[in-house]
Protein backbone atom coordinates (compact mmCIF):
# COMPACT_ATOMS: atom_id res chain seq x y z
CA UNK A 1 0.00 0.00 0.00
CA UNK A 2 1.32 3.45 -0.86
CA UNK A 3 2.09 5.78 2.01
CA UNK A 4 -0.32 8.37 0.69
CA UNK A 5 -2.97 7.70 -1.92
CA UNK A 6 -5.23 9.99 -3.84
CA UNK A 7 -7.66 9.47 -6.69
CA UNK A 8 -5.87 11.18 -9.57
CA UNK A 9 -9.11 12.21 -11.26
CA UNK A 10 -9.62 14.28 -13.27
CA UNK A 11 -12.77 15.50 -11.63
CA UNK A 12 -14.76 17.59 -14.09
CA UNK A 13 -17.41 19.62 -12.31
CA UNK A 14 -19.61 22.54 -13.36
CA UNK A 15 -19.22 25.95 -11.81
CA UNK A 16 -21.06 26.19 -8.54
CA UNK A 17 -20.82 22.50 -7.78
CA UNK A 18 -19.58 21.03 -4.54
CA UNK A 19 -16.75 18.55 -4.85
CA UNK A 20 -14.82 16.49 -2.32
CA UNK A 21 -11.52 14.67 -2.47
CA UNK A 22 -10.14 12.07 -0.13
CA UNK A 23 -6.59 11.14 0.67
CA UNK A 24 -5.71 7.98 2.56
CA UNK A 25 -2.49 7.43 4.46
CA UNK A 26 -0.91 4.24 5.72
CA UNK A 27 1.15 5.41 8.69
CA UNK A 28 -1.12 5.58 11.72
CA UNK A 29 1.50 7.62 13.57
CA UNK A 30 1.16 10.49 11.13
CA UNK A 31 0.82 13.79 12.93
CA UNK A 32 0.46 16.66 10.51
CA UNK A 33 -1.65 16.98 7.43
CA UNK A 34 -1.98 19.64 4.78
CA UNK A 35 -3.68 20.31 1.50
CA UNK A 36 -1.70 22.01 -1.23
CA UNK A 37 -2.77 23.36 -4.57
CA UNK A 38 -0.55 23.06 -7.61
CA UNK A 39 -1.22 24.82 -10.87
CA UNK A 40 0.25 23.46 -14.06
CA UNK A 41 4.02 23.92 -14.18
CA UNK A 42 4.04 25.84 -10.92
CA UNK A 43 5.17 25.08 -7.41
CA UNK A 44 2.69 23.75 -4.83
CA UNK A 45 1.11 26.35 -2.57
CA UNK A 46 -0.33 25.71 0.83
CA UNK A 47 -4.10 25.72 0.76
CA UNK A 48 -4.81 24.79 4.34
CA UNK A 49 -3.68 22.73 7.27
CA UNK A 50 -5.92 19.92 8.44
CA UNK A 51 -6.80 19.88 12.12
CA UNK A 52 -8.19 16.99 14.11
CA UNK A 53 -11.44 18.84 14.74
CA UNK A 54 -11.81 19.81 11.11
CA UNK A 55 -11.43 23.32 9.82
CA UNK A 56 -12.99 25.64 7.33
CA UNK A 57 -11.63 28.48 5.26
CA UNK A 58 -14.23 30.16 3.15
CA UNK A 59 -15.47 27.66 0.59
CA UNK A 60 -12.93 25.06 1.64
CA UNK A 61 -13.39 22.53 4.44
CA UNK A 62 -10.77 20.05 5.52
CA UNK A 63 -11.38 17.07 7.77
CA UNK A 64 -9.31 14.35 9.34
CA UNK A 65 -10.53 10.86 10.14
CA UNK A 66 -7.84 9.16 12.18
CA UNK A 67 -9.77 5.96 12.67
CA UNK A 68 -10.03 5.37 8.93
CA UNK A 69 -6.77 7.16 8.18
CA UNK A 70 -7.90 9.64 5.63
CA UNK A 71 -8.22 13.36 5.17
CA UNK A 72 -10.71 15.10 2.98
CA UNK A 73 -11.09 18.41 1.21
CA UNK A 74 -14.50 19.80 0.35
CA UNK A 75 -14.89 22.70 -2.06
CA UNK A 76 -18.24 24.43 -2.20
CA UNK A 77 -19.52 26.69 -4.96
CA UNK A 78 -16.65 25.75 -7.29
CA UNK A 79 -15.08 28.54 -9.31
CA UNK A 80 -13.22 28.30 -12.58
CA UNK A 81 -10.13 29.46 -10.71
CA UNK A 82 -10.31 26.37 -8.50
CA UNK A 83 -9.11 24.28 -11.45
CA UNK A 84 -5.79 22.83 -10.32
CA UNK A 85 -4.24 19.72 -8.87
CA UNK A 86 -4.78 19.26 -5.15
CA UNK A 87 -2.06 17.47 -3.23
CA UNK A 88 -2.38 16.06 0.22
CA UNK A 89 0.67 16.07 2.43
CA UNK A 90 1.31 13.82 5.38
CA UNK A 91 4.07 14.19 7.95
CA UNK A 92 4.76 11.24 10.24
CA UNK A 93 5.97 13.03 13.35
CA UNK A 94 6.05 16.44 14.90
CA UNK A 95 9.74 16.85 15.57
CA UNK A 96 13.21 15.97 14.45
CA UNK A 97 13.68 14.59 10.98
CA UNK A 98 10.43 14.78 9.12
CA UNK A 99 9.85 12.96 5.91
CA UNK A 100 7.13 14.69 4.03
CA UNK A 101 5.05 12.48 1.80
CA UNK A 102 2.98 13.93 -0.99
CA UNK A 103 0.01 12.30 -2.57
CA UNK A 104 0.04 12.09 -6.36
CA UNK A 105 -2.60 14.76 -6.51
CA UNK A 106 -6.19 14.99 -7.63
CA UNK A 107 -6.84 17.04 -10.70
CA UNK A 108 -9.91 19.26 -10.62
CA UNK A 109 -11.32 20.91 -13.71
CA UNK A 110 -14.19 23.32 -13.15
CA UNK A 111 -16.22 23.77 -16.30
CA UNK A 112 -18.23 26.89 -17.20
Partner 1 sequence: GAVVSQHPSWVICKSGTSVKIECRSLDFQATTMFWYRQFPKQSLMLMATSNEGSKATYEQGVEKDKFLINHASLTLSTLTVTSAHPEDSSFYICSARIRESYGYTFGSGTRLTVV
Number of residues lying near partner 1 (CB under 8 A): 22
User: How wide is the angle at C-alpha 92 spanned by C-alphas 94 and 56, nearest 5°?
Assistant: 75
CB of 15 to partner 1, least distance (A): 25
Taking CB under 8 A as the binding criterion, the range among 11-19, 43-51, 61-69, 70-78 that sits at the site for partner 1 is 43-51
Considering beta carbons, is residue 4 or 19 the nearer one to partner 1? 4
3-state secondary structure of 66: coil
Facing residues of 33 across strands? 50, 90
CB of 104 to partner 1, least distance (A): 4
Burial of 21 (0-12, 13-18, 19+ CB in 10 A): buried
Footprint of partner 1 (CB under 8 A): 32, 34, 36, 41-46, 49, 87, 89, 94, 97-105
Amino acid sequence: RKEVEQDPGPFNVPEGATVAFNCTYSNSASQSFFWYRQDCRKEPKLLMSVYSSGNEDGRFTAQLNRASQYISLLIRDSKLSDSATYLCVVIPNSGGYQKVTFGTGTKLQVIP
